[in-house]
Structure 1
Amino acid sequence: MFILRKLLFLVIVANAEISDVDNSDRNYVCYVCACSADRRIVDCSKRSLTNIPDGISEKVTNLNVSNNEILLFPQNLNKLVNLISLDLSGNQISHMPENALENLTSLELLNLSRNNFDTWMNLNPNDVLQTATNLKILDLSYNKFQTLENLANQELLISSSLETLILDNCEITSIHGRSPLSGLINIRVLKINFNPLSRIQGLVSPTLKSLYVSNCQLSSINQNELSYLPSLVYLQLSYNYDLILPISSTSPVSISLRYLDISFCNIMQINLAGFPNLRKALLSHNVIRYLESNNFINNSKLEYLDLSYNNIGSLKSDTFRGLGILKYLDLSWNEIANIPENSLLQMPSLTHLKLRRNYLTRVGHLKSTSVAILDMSYCEINTIGKDSLEDWQSLVDLDLSHNLLSNIPDSISSNTLKYLNLNYNRISAVSNNTFFMLPRLTGLGVIGNRFTAIWSKSYFDFNPYLERLDLGDNMWRCDCADGNMFDFYEFVTLEPNKKEESYNLICNSPVNLVGQTWLEACYFTWNPSDKVANADSLLWFLVIMIVGLALCLLLVNGIRRSMNRRLASMQAERERQVEEARERLRQLRMRAEQEALCNTPDPRDLVAPPSYDEALSMPKLNISCQSLCEEGTGKKGRRKGRRKTKSSGDLLEETERNGDLPTVDDFELTETSDTNRRRRRRRPRKFGSHEIAELDQSPGVSRRRMSEYGAIGDDSVTIEVEAELERPLRSRNRRCSIDDDEPRESDF
């Protein structure tokens, strides 16, 4: 039991370590690449990678490794069993192994464009796609295959699931041999755009529905080139500048074709008889000069026909015969000057007709029972017949802008017309009967014309559905005294039936009102009570402005004065603080100087007095000097006779002779118990004008005392007598203190 627990613990630890490693690898992948929140989408594009990073989770469905530096097809993709989209475009891959897509059973999109494949053999086309059983789209564009043909005894590509193959910009010059699509049993879309391809023969596929061969070098399409594509529905052949469709019986045939685009070619004549089921045909930007009779007789299912930007100069009455369900016809940007009157009746389902940029000169010579939207702008039309719209039985929107119309005939009638665009013509006047017969008119545009007289709202009494009226950019003459102008302004601009913005109504005359809107020019005329009220209000406004300005000036002056006073007080306070600081600094400097003088040592303490022998060797004084006390106090002492310094014996004899012998009490015997040395110290006594004192702390006395101790034995008795030396006294700096009355040591 213990062993089983031990094994279970080891297994749990191992799994935890593996999971930690996996988590760290996944974190590293998401650090290098961009991951979605659920880590199903990983974007490693433009990371300069040489291989796919390790640690990608198995649940990844979209992996983008495009625009890197990968040389070899990655080998670590086999574990990504949930991968749906793989983008390896923009790399340097030139070879794919046979098992490159092994285990990628969920893969639907593979993008290998912009790589270095130069031959089909390097792609292993017979084996590489068979393991990807759900692959739908394969993009091989911007490689260098150069040809589209079968390999030796092999199919070009083999895949039972591939539906879209993209081979744009692959330098393919020819398609020959057995069909390169025979191995793709489920192919739907083939794109070979931007290749120097001159023929598309040899394509055989029972499932192909869309073929894109634009921007190539096709010159012609033979009859049988499309017959081997029985399911072809969409064919795009645009931008093949040398393409010519044969007019004879050898014209291409495709019974299944529904959409044909041969625009931007050099087709001069049309022959679509080989496409009986065609629904939409784009033939614009060619050089078609004319249309023959029964040109579309075999295209009875055609619904959209674009013939714009050609050189068509004329039509025949039966040109459009057979187009029974055609709904859109674009003949704009041609050179049509005349359209047969009944030519549009051949298209009973036509609803949208564009005749823009042709050379039609009048409206009213066409008939149609189905056209609802008619564009005849930029056609140099200068005349509209009174009954020109009666033959358009379903007309709803008519665009006659940018023409040369100078007037609109009265009572022009249409029971269906809703939107009439007459912008940028030369119309200068309308009347009460102009729009009388347009009962369903909803929008009218007359921008950029030459109207001067203000209209009357009675012009639209019979247009109850009118919702939009564009009147801008005209030369209106504003007469504010005319009541009709005010009524029409309210009719056009006021809610709830607002039809035009007021700022689009600009006066062009008289001179004093040029550039002003109708409301600005005529406001006081239309509202005279507001004018008086406005005059009084203007006066009060001026008074209030003057009073307010005066109050503002007073307030500004008061603020300025208070600020000046405050600045002056601040300046005075600053100067006072500076003076106080200077005074404190001066006192601190004086105190520092006094303390420095008090702490300066006495020069006599620094210089040792001379010894006894040195004193004997000094020169004799010519005159006697006073004692230190007398010198310091300035008192003049008595003159004493000059006497020589003698030894102690001579001094005793002299004192006995003079009767001044000191008594025993004048001397004091002191014994030192430590050194058994006795010393006789004499107390200071005054002898005449002299005061002999012993300076025990003097360095000279100490040195002399030490020399005498060395000369006299331990039991000897020494009598020290100091005589006044006859030398001039030096002036000394007295140590001063705050209290000058106290005697100091330097005074003696």
Structure 2
Amino acid sequence: MFLLRILGIFTIILSTKSEIVDFDDNNSEICYLCICNVDKTSVDCSRRGLTNLPAGLNSKVKKLNISNNEITLFPSSLSTLYNLVSLDISSNHISDIPENALQNLTLLEVLNLSRNNFETWISLNPNEILQQTPSLKILDLSHNKFKTLANLANQELLISPSLETLILDNCQIESIHGRSPLSGLINIRVFKINNNPLLRFQNLISPTLKSLYLSNCKLSYINPNELSYLPSLVYLKMSHNYRLEISSTVNTLSSVSLKYLDISYCNVIQPSLKGFPNLRKAIINHNMIRSLPSNEFINNTKLEYLDMSYNNIGSISSNTFRGLSSVKFLDLSWNEIAQIPENSLLEMPSLTQIKLARNYLTNVGHLKSTSLSIIDMSSCEINSIGKDSLEGLPSLIDIDLSHNLISRLPDSLSSNTLKYLNLNFNRLSYIGNYTFFMLPRLTGLGVVGNRFTIIWSRFYFQSNPYLENLDLTDNMWRCDCLDENMFDFYEYVTLEPNKKEESYNLMCHSPLDVVGQTWLEACYFTWNPSERTTNATNLIWFIIVMIVGLALCLVLVNGIKSSMNRRLATIQAERERQVEEARDRLRQLRIRAEQEALCNTPDPRDLIAPPTYDEALSMPKLNVSCHSLNETGSGKSRKKRGRRKTKSSGDLLEETERDGDIEDLELTETSVDSRRRCRRRSRKYGSHEIAELDQSPGVRRRLMSDHDNESDNVTVQVEAELERPQRPRNRRHSVTEVPRESNF
């Protein structure tokens, strides 16, 4: 008994638990409207047309996205989601937030309020909201309409001990005034204020700020002391400020902590990087720099990446790069440099890559650098290369000299480390046995789009055992198939295992009979003469086989065509037979339907209802006495009405009889002899009589008086049937009367 009680209690507990689970599952119907993850801690209700927080959210939700909806009032039920970590309410129509809107959200770390209708800081209640979220780290208020960034009355604009990232992009902020808007954010790390019509950069004080974004504003001047109020600033991006100038005088912009600086697309005339001793990366492209004087980067000893492309730099002195002892990448492309001083690169002992493309260089010169490995001198106006131009670059691996005006390479171009030489799209027309003799490590050579006509020899590359790629496309090769050197070089370039070029890239441009053909197509039979006779015999047999095959195909096609015609004729005959049968069936069905219609046609006499009592009283009385009926009648007291017979119009004439119920008329004679009953008698009615029956309800009485006008005086008693229902008439034939053709 005790065990039974325990089992009962256990079942009750299980049932209650199941009810709780079912209740939770009912609450999880939110996943039918929104997108949930497996454990239902992340809910995405974006782009659902919501006007309020959807029902069914429980407290275990950690990430909620209700962006891109039609919400106008800040949801008041968010306080129940006390486990919420990330909240996205962007792209709605919220214009203000109550003070206790984020109450109980102590775990909230990311709050996105961008793309709403906030116009003033007071409607946001920033202090109350931030104080209710002690764990908040990221606050996004971009794409609103604050217009200014200033302190509130008697208090800081924003107060939060945990906020690390503040985003105010595209907020129409024109000025920053009053006390620093960042002074209440004691742990701020990132501040973004891009794409605002901000004219001055001032009053930003924060000992913890590390990244500042001021791109695409209207800055024109920066106070040299502004960055001193940001002692922890590491990243500063001020690109696309087309009026911004940085002073190159004594009071230059300076920051000891700054490591990354981006002032591209501005109006900078001088780099002016002396005030950034710890700078690691500087991007100063698309500006108005015209010259680089000596000792311009003397204080930038830690700079590793320097981009000054797309400027108007026209001259470089030998001491310009002094102090850049750590730089590894230097970009001077798209400038107006005409000459690189021979020892200017020695000031950068760590330099590994330099870009000098799109300048006005006329020769490679005698560059010297102990660390330089990659040089890009493409698209300049270089027309010559010195024999010892590469000897001062002991670490050179890759040099790009494409899209220049080089017409000849010097013999014994020397470099013990060069691996990739790009000479594409120049004016080269000749190389010799010793052109690449002093390039033992050469791996790849490109001469695309030059003017070579004479086929090379494999002996040109006897000293290049590591050559793997040889690009010979788009040259004007003259194919002399009788030259043994051509066949030998073709095998050297295209055969495995040391294949260096694809055979389809080797095209003939002369003589005229092989223009546009590959080397193999033009010289195949010359290099393989035994194939010609064999091919002639094979061609004859091929033609014979083709003729026989064509004849067989014609015979086969004709046979198939005739069989198809016979089959089509059979199918056509069968189809015609089926059509005739269908027509016969339709004809019989039409005849049967006409017969049934004639049989079911009601007697027009039955369509006339008997007169009512009032109508009978209003009928005209007989002008003669009843005795005259016996005198003028034929002596017969009863008339038998015959069956009505009709003719059908159409293909066939069939006999149809319509049986009708003849009303029994009781005729009472006034004579003394005896009472006679009226006999039933058949009578034929013509179409004119049927029409008369249709005209007047007293037709029957007039007809009877006409037929019995010779009989004795008879008293006629008509018993009217009120609303007598029609009865189906059975087809009956008289025994004594044989149907004749005249009856139809």
TM-score, normalised with respect to structure 1: 0.76
Report the Cα distance in structure 1 between the residues aligned to 2:243 and 2:585, rounded to whole angstroms. Answer: 107
2:165: which partner in 1? 164
2:674: which partner in 1? none
2:546: which partner in 1? 545
Q: What letter matches 2:60 in structure 1?
A: K
Instruction: Provide the secondary structure at the position in 2 that maps to 1:77.
Output: helix
Question: Which of residues 26, 37, 42 is equivalent to 1:24?
Answer: 26
**Kindly tell me: are residues 584 and 85 of structure 1, through their superposed partners in 2, closer, same or farther at Cα, counting changes over 3 Å?**
closer
2:184: which partner in 1? 183
Report the Cα distance in structure 2 between the residues aligned to 1:249 and 1:593, rounded to whole angstroms. Answer: 120
Q: What letter matches 1:218 in structure 2?
A: L
Question: 1:158, 1:183 within 8 Å by CA — same for their partners in 2?
Answer: yes
Determine whether 1:436 maps to 2:437. Answer: yes
Structure 1 segments unaligned to the other structure (5+ residues) = 595-610, 618-695, 701-706, 711-731, 737-745
Question: 1:364, 1:388 within 8 Å by CA — same for their partners in 2?
Answer: yes
Question: What CA deviation, in whole Å up to 9, does each residue of 1:317-361 have, x standing for no partner?
Answer: 111111111111111101011221111111111110111111110
Question: 1:221, 1:251 within 8 Å by CA — same for their partners in 2?
Answer: no
Question: 1:126, 1:154 within 8 Å by CA — same for their partners in 2?
Answer: no
The structural deviation recorded for 1:12 is 8.3
Instruction: Provide the secondary structure at the position in 2 that maps to 1:362.
Output: coil
Report the Cα distance in structure 1 between the residues aligned to 2:580 and 2:99, rounded to whole angstroms. Answer: 100
Q: What letter matches 1:272 in structure 2?
A: L
Report the Cα distance in structure 2 between the residues aligned to 1:65 and 1:616, rounded to whole angstroms. Answer: 109
Aligned length: 619
2:252: which partner in 1? 251
2:474: which partner in 1? 473
Question: 2:304, 2:327 within 8 Å by CA — same for their partners in 1?
Answer: yes
Question: 1:222, 1:250 within 8 Å by CA — same for their partners in 2?
Answer: no
The structural deviation recorded for 1:292 is 1.1
1:688: which partner in 2? none
Question: What CA deviation, in whole Å up to 9, does each residue of 1:681-737 have, x standing for no partner?
Answer: xxxxxxxxxxxxxxx99989xxxxxx9xx9xxxxxxxxxxxxxxxxxxxxx99669x
Report the Cα distance in structure 2 between the residues aligned to 1:435 and 1:260, rounded to whole angstroms. Answer: 44
Report the Cα distance in structure 2 between the residues aligned to 1:385 and 1:157, rounded to whole angstroms. Answer: 66
Instruction: Provide the secondary structure at the position in 2 that maps to 1:542.
Output: helix
The structural deviation recorded for 1:409 is 0.7
Question: What CA deviation, in whole Å up to 9, does each residue of 1:177-217 have, x standing for no partner?
Answer: 22211211111100011122222222111111101111112
**Kindly tell me: are residues 423 and 14 of structure 1, through their superposed partners in 2, closer, same or farther at Cα, counting changes over 3 Å?**
same
Instruction: Provide the secondary structure at the position in 1 that maps to 2:126.
Output: coil
1:279: which partner in 2? 280
Equivalent residue runs for 1:331-730 within 5 Å = 331-571=332-572
Report the Cα distance in structure 2 between the residues aligned to 1:251 and 1:196, rounded to whole angstroms. Answer: 24
**Kindly tell me: are residues 699 and 326 of structure 1, through their superposed partners in 2, closer, same or farther at Cα, counting changes over 3 Å?**
closer
Report the Cα distance in structure 2 between the residues aligned to 1:363 and 1:575, rounded to whole angstroms. Answer: 93
TM-score, normalised with respect to structure 2: 0.77
2:227: which partner in 1? 226
1:101: which partner in 2? 102
Question: 2:74, 2:101 within 8 Å by CA — same for their partners in 1?
Answer: yes
**Kindly tell me: are residues 581 and 232 of structure 1, through their superposed partners in 2, closer, same or farther at Cα, counting changes over 3 Å?**
closer
The structural deviation recorded for 1:20 is 4.6
Q: What letter matches 2:450 in structure 1?
A: N
Instruction: Give identity over the alignment, percent.
Output: 68
1:621: which partner in 2? none
Report the Cα distance in structure 2 between the residues aligned to 1:576 and 1:365, rounded to whole angstroms. Answer: 102
The structural deviation recorded for 1:503 is 1.4
Report the Cα distance in structure 2 between the residues aligned to 1:584 and 1:79, rounded to whole angstroms. Answer: 81
Report the Cα distance in structure 1 between the residues aligned to 2:513 and 2:166, rounded to whole angstroms. Answer: 72
1:50: which partner in 2? 51
The structural deviation recorded for 1:154 is 1.1
Question: 2:382, 2:404 within 8 Å by CA — same for their partners in 1?
Answer: yes
Instruction: Provide the secondary structure at the position in 2 that maps to 1:383.
Output: coil
Question: What CA deviation, in whole Å up to 9, does each residue of 1:456-485 have, x standing for no partner?
Answer: 111111100001111001101111111111
Question: 1:237, 1:263 within 8 Å by CA — same for their partners in 2?
Answer: yes
Instruction: Provide the secondary structure at the position in 1 that maps to 2:223.
Output: coil
Question: 1:310, 1:333 within 8 Å by CA — same for their partners in 2?
Answer: yes
Question: 1:308, 1:330 within 8 Å by CA — same for their partners in 2?
Answer: yes
1:114: which partner in 2? 115
Q: What letter matches 1:135 in structure 2?
A: L
Equivalent residue runs for 1:62-211 within 5 Å = 62-211=63-212
**Kindly tell me: are residues 593 and 365 of structure 1, through their superposed partners in 2, closer, same or farther at Cα, counting changes over 3 Å?**
closer
The structural deviation recorded for 1:592 is 13
Report the Cα distance in structure 2 between the residues aligned to 1:273 and 1:503, rounded to whole angstroms. Answer: 56
Question: 1:98, 1:127 within 8 Å by CA — same for their partners in 2?
Answer: yes
**Kindly tell me: are residues 87 and 590 of structure 1, through their superposed partners in 2, closer, same or farther at Cα, counting changes over 3 Å?**
closer
Question: 1:80, 1:104 within 8 Å by CA — same for their partners in 2?
Answer: yes
Instruction: Provide the secondary structure at the position in 1 that maps to 2:421.
Output: strand
When the two chains are superposed, the root-mean-square deviation of aligned CA atoms in Å is 3.6
Report the Cα distance in structure 1 between the residues aligned to 2:283 and 2:188, rounded to whole angstroms. Answer: 25
Structure 2 segments unaligned to the other structure (5+ residues) = 596-629, 637-678, 684-710, 715-735
Question: What CA deviation, in whole Å up to 9, does each residue of 1:142-179 have, x standing for no partner?
Answer: 11222222222212111111110001111222223222
**Kindly tell me: are residues 152 and 565 of structure 1, through their superposed partners in 2, closer, same or farther at Cα, counting changes over 3 Å?**
closer
Question: 2:264, 2:287 within 8 Å by CA — same for their partners in 1?
Answer: yes
Equivalent residue runs for 1:263-302 within 5 Å = 263-302=264-303
Report the Cα distance in structure 2 between the residues aligned to 1:10 and 1:60, rounded to whole angstroms. Answer: 30
**Kindly tell me: are residues 592 and 354 of structure 1, through their superposed partners in 2, closer, same or farther at Cα, counting changes over 3 Å?**
closer
**Kindly tell me: are residues 97 and 461 of structure 1, through their superposed partners in 2, closer, same or farther at Cα, counting changes over 3 Å?**
same
